[in-house]
Structure 1
Amino acid sequence: MKIDKKLLGELIAEMVAVFIIILFGDSVAAMYTLYDPSPYKTAYWGVCIVWGLGVTIAIYVTGAVSGTHANPAVTIALATFRGFSWKKTPLYIVAQVLGGFLGAAAVYALFSPVIDHFNEVHHFTRALDGGAAGVFFTHPGEAVTPMHSLLVQTILTGMLVFGIFAITCEYNTMAPQANSGALIIGLLVATIGASAGYLDAWAINPARDFGPRLFCYFAGWGPQALPAPQNYWWVPVLGPTLGGLVGGGAYYVLIRPFMPERLVEPMAPTPVVLTETALPAERFGAHSHS
């Protein structure tokens, strides 16, 4: 597929969007994890808000260029249900993962002395103990198995994409108007994290997890990043992908057919990359809380 100037701009925008999300999100995860006392240990909602606002900022920066998918699960759901180009889909995903990789590199540049100090104080190593790995990528929480985490990621990402489709549907008269949808999508991400983030750090985005995980593999965490304990690495890739399809399908089966305007005015096919109204939608996001 030839990459012309327009497509190149879209790919750069997708990379930048995920970079922004990871820069803010993994940085707040570092603030949560590496400091004692942590400014967020008793204020977890603050962690969730930062992740959500990272998504909102990413949308405002890049939405006019690419629509700010910023999430392979969103891109695949849009290709499946809203006519986004399947030819562009793998290119978008590569750009998103690259954004996650570069975002993690930037966070590492900021916090590497603190990471080393944290590991020294707690007698952790990167490759053997995964010291401070939770700053960058996700893992199962207490009493959660990888297979249960797969279910968690499927459900949570399903709610994310279900919400994005509702927020950006042109027939939804209750959806946020103008460009306020970006803020509501950010709050949706924050709400998902606040309600279920401790289960497995609420990746809900393959690029959000795999991009930083790939960086950490080369930055000294090695097998703690890939394939990760219990071979966990594939869970936050497959779970969100399945969840996006479930959530998008659920919206088109359960809600979309009953929108009042749709009953009298059929929607014409549209090539808009993200939404029927050209309003930007998510990412992301996702989060690592430990």
Structure 2
Amino acid sequence: MSPYIAEFIGTALLILFGNGVVANVVLSKSKGQNSGWIVITVGWGLAVMLAVYCVGRISGAHINPAVTLSLASAGLFDWAQVPGYIIAQVCGGFFGSVLVYLAYYAHWDQTEDPALKLACHSTAPAVRRFGPAFITEFIGTAVLLFVILAVGKVALGAEDAQRIWATSMGTWFGPLVVGLLIVAIGVSLGGPTGYAINPARDFGPRLAHAFLPIPGKGSSDWAYAWVPIVAPILGGIAGAKLFVYLNM
């Protein structure tokens, strides 16, 4: 299987499970309605873990443009593959959100609040101040990349660094630890923004929200959309650079 197809499938699974748990918690008349933030963070952790298990040995399971760009900036991934990975991730995010829409088809017109419908696709700040939200997303993604690289035990400067990354993400323990990391970031840092920490996780589903015929959906909030794109990319690069610096 092509690594680009693997990234598409992995990101689609990520969004199906991740945004699926959000829809289960917030949409009206869902059997999981009002089950809370802990359920959402555990659901996202499981989503990441399962996606990495599925495609880790094929593509390295970046499933996140911030990961792809951060690895490339640290010399751990081939820049020539970056555009293909990012396109596949965004398309996978879009497709996964379409699947969530279909899975919860009967619940959109039962839910009155358009903000809750948007939350099933993309993130929004709890307090609408973009500067603090940017800082939160930056810190969360920096931690994500730093810990992932530590867990992955990437051989810095080695010609086979990409292979080693893919192998470590395809073992039984790598995806498990990364899933637990997502839960940890969510319960610790997720409150201010809903912790996108992944441009494809936010942008692809936000596009889906804009195009899908969701009853009473309201705005897709493009004014905020740049924050969960730019902040994770810069934060991820910072986390990867810090890891490289400490392991030189």
Report what 2:88 is aligned to. Answer: 95
For 1:115 and 1:177, the matched residues in 2 are separated by: 37
The correspondence of residues 3-82 of structure 1 with structure 2, limited to 5 A, is: 9-35=2-28, 39=32, 41=34, 43-82=36-75
State how far apart, in whole Å, the 1-side matches of 2:169 and 2:87 are.
30
In the TM superposition, what whole-angstrom CA distance separates every residue of 1:125-162 from its partner, at most 9, and x where no partner exists?
A: xxxx5451111100001x34112111111000000000
Whole-Å Cα distance in 2 between the matches of residues 62 and 131 of structure 1? 31
Counterpart residue identity of residue 236, structure 1:
P
Kept in 2, the 8 Å contact 1:144–1:200? The answer is no
Matched, 1:250 2:245: no
Q: What is the CA-CA distance between 1:36 and the residue it aligns to?
A: 6.0
Conserved? CA contact 1:176–1:184, under 8 Å: no
Cα 1:37–1:23, aligned 2, differ >3 Å: closer, same or farther? closer
Residue 118 (1) aligns with residue 105 (2): no
Matched, 1:161 2:145: yes
Range with greater deviation from structure 2 (149-158 or 245-254):
245-254
Q: Percent identity?
A: 35
Give the conservation status (yes or no) of the 8 Å contact 1:52–1:187.
yes
Do the aligned partners of residues 96 and 200 (structure 1) sit closer, same or farther apart at CA in structure 2, a change above 3 Å counting?
same
Match of 1:137 in 2: 122
**Structure 1 regions of 5+ residues with no counterpart?**
1-5, 258-290
Unaligned runs of 5+ in 2: 156-167
Instruction: Decide which of 232, 237, 241 is 2:229's aligned counterpart.
Output: 237
- SS of aligned partner of 1:199: coil
Shift of 1:37: 8.4
Distance in 2 of aligned mates of 1:62 and 1:10? 8
Answer whether contact 2:142 2:235 (CA < 8 A) is retained: yes
Shift of 1:35: 3.7
1:200 aligns with 2:185: no
1:224 aligns to 2:208 (yes or no): no
Aligned equivalents of 2:187 and 2:104: distance in 1? 25
Aligned counterparts of 1:56 and 1:93: Cα–Cα separation in 2:
20
Question: How far apart are the structure 2 equivalents of 1:97 and 1:42?
Answer: 29
Residue-by-residue CA offset, 1:49-81 (whole Å, 9 max, x unaligned)? 111111111111111111100000000011111
Offset at 1:113? 1.6
Q: What is the TM-score of this pair, normalised by structure 1?
A: 0.75
Contact 1:72 1:205 in 2 (8 A): yes
Contact 1:167 1:176 in 2 (8 A): no
| CA contact 1:29–1:134 (8 Å) conserved in 2 | yes
Q: Distance in 2 between matches of 1:170 and 1:150?
A: 28
**C-alpha contact (below 8 Å) 1:140/1:199 kept by paired residues:** yes
Q: Report how many residues are paired.
A: 235
Tell me the residue number matched to 1:263: none
Q: Which amino acid aligns with 1:225?
A: S
Residues 184-195 of structure 1: pairs in structure 2 closer than 5 A: 184-195=177-188
Larger radius of gyration: 1
Question: 1: distance between equivalents of 2:133 and 2:92?
Answer: 24
Distance 1:84 1:220, change over 3 A: same
Q: Which amino acid in the other structure matches residue 55 of structure 2?
A: T
| Per-residue Cα deviation, 1:259-278 (whole angstroms, up to 9, x for no partner) | xxxxxxxxxxxxxxxxxxxx
Taking the aligned partners of 2:120 and 2:76, their CA distance within structure 1 comes to: 36
CA distance in 2, matches of 1:232, 1:146: 7
212-221 or 99-108: which moved more? 212-221
How far has the Cα of 1:112 moved from its partner?
2.2
